[in-house]
Chains A and B, each alone.
Chain A
C-alpha cells in the first residue's frame, strides 16, 4: 500500500516502492486511475487520468500490477469510449450526464450473449499460436468478429467450446503451453496499449484507400496501410475532411479518435452515422465505427493515452484480417498533453516547450500503421490519418514539421482556400503523396490506363495558373497571352468542377473512382479543345463566352445513376461545339484571305 505525497494538477507523487514504469495505479479514496511515468527511489511519479481535485497528501495509493491495457473482444463496434476505454454509453446510463470520477465499468458488456461458432480448421490436440482464429461471432450484421488466441499465448488446444451463445467472460477454449500451464481463453482478452500487437511480417501497401473525395483519391492518394496527415489552421475544414473519410472510406472498420477536440463533433458522428449507410454493405455506418472520445474538457492526461487506446483496438481488428482506418483528431492535442506532463516534471523543453522526445514518440506512433500478414496467416491493415492543428496555421511548428517527415501522404489545408469557401481546402502546392506511383497501377487496372496522364496534366495546369495569377496580380490580365488567359480560366473550372466538393451535397458528397476520372477527363478535354481552337485563331473572349463553361462547373452535381448518359452527352456537345467553331473560323479565315 502506498501513500500520496504531493498533488500538482494531474501529476501525483506517490510513495510506492516496487512499482514499475507504465504500471497502472489507483489513487486516494475515490480510486482515481493513473499510470506511473517515472520512478525516483521509492517514489513513483503518476499521471492521473482523472481530475485530482480534492485529492490530499496522506491518502492511500495502490499499484494494480499491470500496465494500462484495453479489453479486446466482440461488442467494441458502435461504441463510444473515453481516453482509457471506459464505455461512455454505459456510464451515462449508470450515472447521468456528467462523467463521475473513480467509476470503472467494464469496456465490454458482460451480460450480452454472442453466438459463437468454433473454427472448423482447428482440432483438439493441435498446437495454436498467438493470433490464430478460434472461432467466429457475428459482431454486427456486416462484421464477422474473429475470436483470436491472445497474442502472448500459445500451446496445445485441450478444449474448444461447441457452437452456442456465450457472454464474453465464458471460457471458450483451454490451451496448455510448453511449461504445462493451462490458459483459459475467453471471448475477449486484454492487451497493453503502449505495446504494438505482433504479426508475422510487414507487407507492402498496394491498394489505394478510396475516400470518394476527388482531391484526395485522384490527386494525393493514400494506401490501405499507409500513413497520412491533415494539417490545417482552424476553420480550414479539417474536421469535415476527416468526417468525410470516416464516412466514405472503403475500409472495413473506422476508428475515430477525438483527442482534445470539440464534444459536439463527436455528437455529430454519434447522431448522424446510425442514419447513414455504408455505400458498400448498405448497413448503418455506425456498425463499422468505433469512437474514442477525450473531448477538450476531459482530463488532459487521458488525452495522451487515447490515441494508443484507439490504435490498439485498430490492430486487433487488423489481426482479424480487416482493413482498418484510424482517424486521430488531433495529434497536436496529444503533443500538448505530452508537453503539459513534461512541463510539470520540470523536463528541459526543446522547441516551443515540447520535450525532446516528441519526434521519436510521434514516429513510433505512426509506425503502428501498416499492412501486415497476421499471425493467423491473413492480410490486414491499419491506415493512420492524423490531424495536425498548427498554432497560427504555421506549418513550421514542431508537431507539423515532425509529422511531415514521417507521413507519406500530406493533405495540407489552406486558410485562404477555406476563406473563399473552396472546400475541401486541400492546397495542391503544399500537399504531397509518396504513394501516387503505387496508386497509379491500381487506377490503370481498375479505372483507366490514362489516369496518371490526366492527373499530371491537371497538376501542371494548376501550377501554371498559380504562376499566372501572380503575374496578373502584379501587372493585370492584359499582360497575358490568349493561351495563358485560357489556362487561367481552365484552372478555374478545374478547381470548381473537380477539386471543390461539397460534403453537404447529397450527390457530390461521395464520388466514385469512375466518376472522378470521367470528370477529370472532361475538364482536361475541355481545356485542350480550347487550346486547339485558340491555335486556329479563335479569340479567347469567344471561348470565355461559351455557356458550356458554366455547365462544366455543374457536372459534378449530376447523379450518374439517374442520368447515366449525362457525361457522354456533354462530351458530344463539346465535340460538336469544337467542330462548328472550327469550321466557322476556317471560313472566316478564307474570307479574310
Chain B
C-alpha cells in the first residue's frame, strides 16, 4: 500500500485533512502528505470509515492545495526509531533530527502511543530523590517514578527551577545510570536555549535527549511530542535500565493544541472549550511515569504547567492535579519579594512523600517536621492576615512569634540560591532552627522525643515589627 498515493482530498483546515474514497485504512496509521511543491509532511489517521478518512497533519495544513496534494498511507502505526545513540541528540516532535545530524538507524521501533502498564506489574515508588532544594526535599519530597508537576504562572521562574532540579537531582549515596529527556512544547527560543546551556554547563548534555517544538513551530506537532519523548524515556528506563527524569514544558501549550484540533474536528466542548476527553488524554501522558517491578530503571516526570492568570482551578492545572502525585506551586507574592525559588508551600504537595522518607530513607523526624511546618505556617499566614488588618503591634506576644517564624521560614528555608545544593540533613536542620522560633508547647505535631533532641529551647523574645 505504501507505494500508492491518493488525492481525493475534500477539505483541509485546522491541521486536519478530510479524504474521500481511500481504501480501508487502519485507525492510527501513519501517513505521508506531499504538497504541490513536493514537500513532505507527516500525518496520522484519527478517524476512519469505509469511504472517508480523517488525517491529522503534524506540520499543519497551511498552504495545502487540495487538488495538488497527494497522500500516501504507510500501513504502519506511528513509530519512532530508538537506539542508545539517542542520548545527546535533539529532535522535533515526530522524531526528526533538529541538530543537523543524520537520523538514527536502528531496528528498534516503538509505537509512540505505548500500551497500558498492567497495574499489577507496577512497583510502588519509594526511593527518595534529593533535589537539593529545601522546599521540595523537606516538605514535598520527590521519589523515583513519581509524577510531580510544577504549577507556575507567566513570568515565574519555573524553567530555572526545573533546570536546577535536573542539575541537582540524585539519590543520596548512590551512583547510577541516569538520563534526562527534555520535552519542550511551544516554548520560546530563549527558553529552549536556556535549558540547553544550563545542561551543557553542568556537563550532562551527553545524557540528555531533547524534543523541541518552538512557539513558531506547527502546533499540532505538540500533540505527538510528549508521546515521542515518553516512548524514548520508556526505552531508556526499561530497555537500558536507566533512571530517567523527564521534564516537560509547557503542558498548557500542549492542551491548547489539543483544543485547537478538537474544535476543528467538531468535538463537543466541556470546560473552557477543552474537549471532554482532556482528562484521559493528559492521563495517557502522565501515567507513563512510574516503576515496573521486573525492570531496573524508572521514569520520574516533572511537567511544567503554567496556570493562565495564575488560576489553579483552570482546567489544565486542575486536571493535572487530579492525575499527578502532588504539585509544586509557585507563588507570585514570594517572587515579587525577590525570593527564589518562590515555592508557595500551602497548596504544594507530594503524595508519595510518606513512603519515601523517614528512617532508612532520610531521617526519622522528617514526616513530623514537615507536618509541623505546614501547620505552623498555615497558622502564621492567618496571623499575618490579621496583622495586616489590625496592625502587628496589636498582636499577642505569641502571635508575633508566628510572624517571625513565617519571615524566617520564607527567607531561610524556602529561599536559596540557584547553585545552593542542600543535603536533606541540612534542610531538616534549618527546619529545626526555624521551628525553634516557636515555643515547644506550640508544636503538637512533632513528638516529645523530637523536641528533646532537636528543639533549641531558647525562646528569643520577639519585638513587634
Contact = CB atoms under 8 A, between A and B. Distances in A.
Interface of A: 5-9, 13, 51-59, 80, 88-89, 91-92, 96-101, 233-235, 239, 258, 260, 262-264, 266-268, 270-271, 293, 295-300, 333, 336-337, 339-340, 342-343, 346, 349, 352-353, 389, 391-394, 415, 419-422, 472-478, 496, 502, 504, 547, 550, 553-554
Contacts of A478: 390, 394
A99 B115 CA distance: 7
Given A52-B27, A96-B121, A264 B290 contact: yes
B276 A340 contact: yes
A54 B24 contact: no
A235 B346 contact: no
How many chain B residues sit at the interface, stated as a range, is 35 or more
B50 A504 contact: no
Contacts of A392: 313-315, 318
Given A7-B49, A55-B27, A264-B325, A296 B118 contact: no
Given A91-B118, A233-B321, 20 more contacts: A5-B49, A53-B26, A53-B27, A53-B77, A54-B28, A55-B26, A55-B27, A92-B118, A101-B115, A233-B318, A260-B279, A267-B124, A295-B119, A296-B286, A336-B279, A392-B313, A419-B346, A475-B390, A478-B394, A550-B441
12 contacts: A6-B50, A54-B27, A54-B29, A98-B116, A99-B115, A234-B321, A260-B279, A296-B280, A353-B276, A391-B271, A419-B347, A475-B389
A51 B115 CA distance: 9
A191 B275 CA distance: 35
B120 A89 contact: yes
Interface string B44-70: 000111100000000000000000000
Contact of B313 (A88, A263, A394): A394
B188 interface: no
B50 A263 contact: no
A550 B77 CA distance: 64
Pairs A-B, 5 closest by C-beta atoms: A392-B313, A296-B283, A420-B378, A297-B287, A6-B49
B283 A268 contact: no
Given A235-B349, A297-B116, A343-B267, A264 B378 contact: no
B277 interface: yes
Contact of B386 (A7, A235, A476): A476
Contacts of B284: 296-297
Interface in B120-159: 120-125, 145
B318 A297 contact: no
Contacts of A353: 268-271, 276
A457 B125 CA distance: 44
B160 interface: no
A475 B352 CA distance: 41
B294 interface: yes
B325 A262 contact: yes
Contacts of A9: 47, 277
Contacts of B123: 267
B279 A296 contact: yes
Interface stretch (B171-179, B334-342, B367-375): B367-375
B24 A58 contact: yes
A372 to B, nearest CB: 32
Contacts of A352: 270-271
A96 B378 CA distance: 46
Interface centre among A9, A340, A473 (most CB of B within 10 A): A340
Given A6-B50, A262-B325, A264-B290, A80 B120 contact: yes
Interface in B254-307: 267-271, 275-277, 279-280, 283-284, 286-288, 290, 292-295
A389 B125 CA distance: 24
B120 A296 contact: no
A97 B283 CA distance: 18
Given A53-B113, A264-B352, A340 B271 contact: no
Nearest to A263: B119
A96 B325 CA distance: 25
B323 interface: yes
A346 B276 CA distance: 13
A421 B353 CA distance: 14
A422 B269 CA distance: 36
A89 B120 CA distance: 6
A476 B392 CA distance: 11
B277 A54 contact: no
Interface in B370-427: 371, 374-375, 378-379, 385-386, 389-390, 394, 396
Contacts of B327: 235
Contacts of B293: 97
B48 A7 contact: yes
Contact of B268 (A53, A295, A343): A343
B15 interface: no
B360 to A, nearest CB: 15
Given A7-B47, A57-B49, A264-B124, A297 B276 contact: no
B322 interface: yes
Contacts, number: 218
B113 A57 contact: no
B54 to A, nearest CB: 9
Given A234-B322, A339-B276, A393-B313, A57 B48 contact: yes
A389 B322 contact: yes
A8 B268 CA distance: 14
Given A97-B292, A421-B375, A340 B120 contact: no
Contacts of A54: 26-29, 77
B367 A99 contact: no
A54 B321 CA distance: 32
A476 B290 CA distance: 49
Contacts of B124: 264, 267-268, 271
Contact of B295 (A51, A97, A419): A97
B49 A297 contact: no
Contacts of B40: none
A59 to B, nearest CB: 8
Nearest to A352: B270
B117 interface: yes
B115 A98 contact: yes
A339 B275 CA distance: 10
A295 B287 CA distance: 9
Contacts of A97: 117-118, 121, 238, 292-295
B457 interface: no
B430 interface: no
B354 interface: yes
Contacts of A56: 24-27, 29, 48
A346 B267 CA distance: 8
Interface string B416-457: 000000000000000000000000010011000000000000
A496 B442 CA distance: 12
B71 to A, nearest CB: 16
Contacts of B122: 263-264, 266-267
A53 B47 CA distance: 10
B119 A88 contact: yes
Contacts of A298: 116
A23 B113 CA distance: 29
B124 to A, nearest CB: 5
Interface centre among A92, A419, A422, A478 (most CB of B within 10 A): A419
A340 B280 contact: yes
B331 interface: no
A296 B346 contact: no
B274 to A, nearest CB: 10
Contact of A473 (B120, B389, B394, B441): B389
A475 B124 CA distance: 49
Given A55-B26, A343-B267, A496-B444, A391 B318 contact: yes
A51 B375 CA distance: 45
Given A56-B24, A262-B287, A343 B118 contact: no
Interface centre among B294, B355, B444 (most CB of A within 10 A): B444
Contacts of B270: 339, 352-353
A502 B371 CA distance: 10
